[in-house]
Amino acid sequence: MGEILIDAAVGEAAAATTTGLLIPVILSGGSGTRLWPMSRAQYPKQLLPLHDSNTLLQATALRTDGFAFGAVRLGKPLVVSNEEYRFVIAEQLKAIGSAAESIVLEPIGRNTAPALTLAALEASLDPAEDPLLLVMPSDHVVNDISAFQNALRAGIPAAQNGAIVTFGIIPDHPETGYGYIEIKADNVGTPGPIASFVEKPDAETAQRYVDSGRFVWNSGLFMTRASVWLKAIGAFRPDILEAVKAAHAAGKRDGQFLFVPRAEFSASPSDSIDYAVMEKLPADTGTGIPAWVVPLECGWSDVGAWGALWDVAEKDAGGNVTRGDVLTTDTTDTLVLAQSRMVACVGVDNLVIIETPDAVMVANKDDTQKVKDIVGQLQKAGRSEAIAHRKVYRPWGWYDSIDNGPRFQVKRIVVNPGATLSLQLHHHRAEHWIVVSGTARVTRGEDTFLLSENQSTYISIGQVHRLANPGKVPLEIIEVQSGSYLGEDDIVRLEDTYGRSGGPIC
């Protein structure tokens, strides 16, 4: 369905002017536990290149590239995210030439309704603009960009005329894992008013929905004016609006980042866009805000589990999807992702096999929703595999814990050109640094000196130290830690270029 006609079916909304500002709003706060072991709490699925060479976040930002409709101006993305991901998000967007206008940082998750309210307040700072907000989760896949952009064009007139527009995925099978949107009978196949929202159905009901042709999947994609969303959330959930207003007003800016204070934002109830507003609109007679849906067929998936990724990925003759160093024989309908070693599959069918440097997960493709149960077991046992990868990204670069044992740990550390770690000390461990490539500027106590390839230094327990890369190429070192306790929380940070304080992040 590459073409969606903007015709009389959009009714009165068609009279709206096609001018103004359209801001992509990217909601990037989820954790994606069903995509473990690749998706983890400190590096969730939206930051991973699961579908192609771009991460899901990057693909979301690129989805509006080249978009044009009348005199509508496309603005820079506005991202709402967890504080913990801020540097990675900024770097990933910069890498694709799509730097965000603003990255609003939630100190605690409060679901999508408060997140969109933050975005609407941030987008309303210029009193001369009442921009359209295109709200996109950061962890979805869209294969047909042309069809996606055609749907945006079909939704703009209604959104500019005061509607909250959602985009409903035309179902190709009776899915029980999605909520559905009922389209009014006289608007089937065209943009028009929503009749109702319905919860995730059982299999028989889902089949009936698909057969009727009047139901679409609820995609979580929205378009509306900033002022319209603020009016709607104020009407239906004034408690959310007031708490988020206070939090946004008290926020602290640092470049493109807006740090929202925990105390004020925690006062907001947690609720979704659907529950807080959308499900109330079809029956609402007080706000006068229409709820519209644009049918959409664009190779969409919310990648909610490994089976969903297999569904939308390109397959070989045997129905297999493979990435990395993978060999198969007599293997069918299987997803295999290998990150750090060769994976060989012989005589298997309908499996998901995910290999990372510190974990291997094997599941029946029909049971991948249950992966979250494994994550629950890891969390209950206090195991680090639920939280972080062996390779950990930091604002200055990354490190990989390549070996460890009683009283020792070995890390490979890469520092970006011009970057510097915090000034810090450790109470329980000493560190030996060997430069593999690049140039290191080392602060050790009162001394500062340079180290080149094959040179080394020693940091004793309790000694104040800092590592920096003054060069034009990445600095790579091997760090050997030794001591009675080697945990990441044995870091006392004294000074930090990136505005972090205290804490276990070096």
Contact of 393 with 399, CB cutoff 8 Å = no
Mark whether 95 and 133 lie in a shared domain: yes
Mark whether 271 and 190 lie in a shared domain: yes
Contact of 76 with 230, CB cutoff 8 Å = no
158 found inside a domain: yes
CATH number at residue 120: 3.90.550.10
| pLDDT for position 283 | 87
Given 301, 330, 355, the domain boundary residue is: 301
Residue 383's contacts (CB-CB under 8 Å, 6 or more residues apart) are none
14 found inside a domain: no
500 found inside a domain: no
Given 351, 380, 409, the domain boundary residue is: 380
Contact of 314 with 217, CB cutoff 8 Å = no
268 found inside a domain: yes
Residue 405's contacts (CB-CB under 8 Å, 6 or more residues apart) are none
| Tokens 């299987």 belong to residue | 334
| pLDDT for position 488 | 84
pLDDT in tens, the chain (506 residues): 344 443 433 434 444 456 799 999 999 987 778 999 999 998 999 999 999 999 999 999 999 999 999 999 999 999 999 988 898 999 999 999 988 999 999 999 999 999 999 999 999 998 889 999 999 999 999 999 999 999 999 999 999 999 999 999 999 999 998 999 999 877 677 889 999 999 899 999 999 999 999 999 999 999 999 999 999 999 999 999 999 999 999 999 998 999 999 999 999 999 999 999 999 999 887 899 999 999 999 999 999 999 999 999 999 999 999 999 999 999 999 999 999 999 999 999 999 999 999 999 999 999 999 999 999 999 999 998 999 899 988 889 999 999 999 999 999 999 999 999 999 999 999 999 999 999 999 999 999 999 999 999 999 999 999 999 999 999 999 999 999 999 888 999 999 988 776 444 44
1 found inside a domain: no
287 found inside a domain: yes
Given 262, 285, 301, the domain boundary residue is: 301
Threshold 0.75, pTM exceeds: yes
Mark whether 432 and 473 lie in a shared domain: yes
| pLDDT for position 17 | 52
Range of the domain at 319: 306-380
Mark whether 157 and 235 lie in a shared domain: yes
Mark whether 157 and 201 lie in a shared domain: yes
Mark whether 342 and 274 lie in a shared domain: no
Residue 66 has φ and ψ, to the nearest 5°, of 80, 5
Mark whether 351 and 242 lie in a shared domain: no
386 found inside a domain: no
- The separation between CA 446 and the C-alpha centre of its own chain, rounded to angstroms, equals 42
Q: Which helix (H) or strand (E) holds 273?
A: helix 273-276
> How far are the Cα atoms of 8, 187, 194, 244, 293 from residue 5, in angstroms, in the given order?
9, 12, 18, 38, 14
> How far are the Cα atoms of 105, 295, 464, 497, 506 from residue 422, in angstroms, in the given order?
22, 50, 10, 7, 6
Helices (H), 287-444: 306-312, 371-380
| pLDDT for position 18 | 65
Mark whether 375 and 457 lie in a shared domain: no
Mark whether 266 and 327 lie in a shared domain: no
Mark whether 363 and 445 lie in a shared domain: no
8 found inside a domain: no
Mark whether 57 and 113 lie in a shared domain: yes
| Tokens 């590096």 belong to residue | 43
| pLDDT for position 190 | 81
Number of domains in the chain: 3
- C-beta atoms surrounding 205 within 10 Å: 16
Q: Where would I find the beta strands (DSSP E) of 379-454?
A: 391-394, 397-405, 408-415, 423-425, 429-437, 440-444, 447-451
Mark whether 277 and 369 lie in a shared domain: no
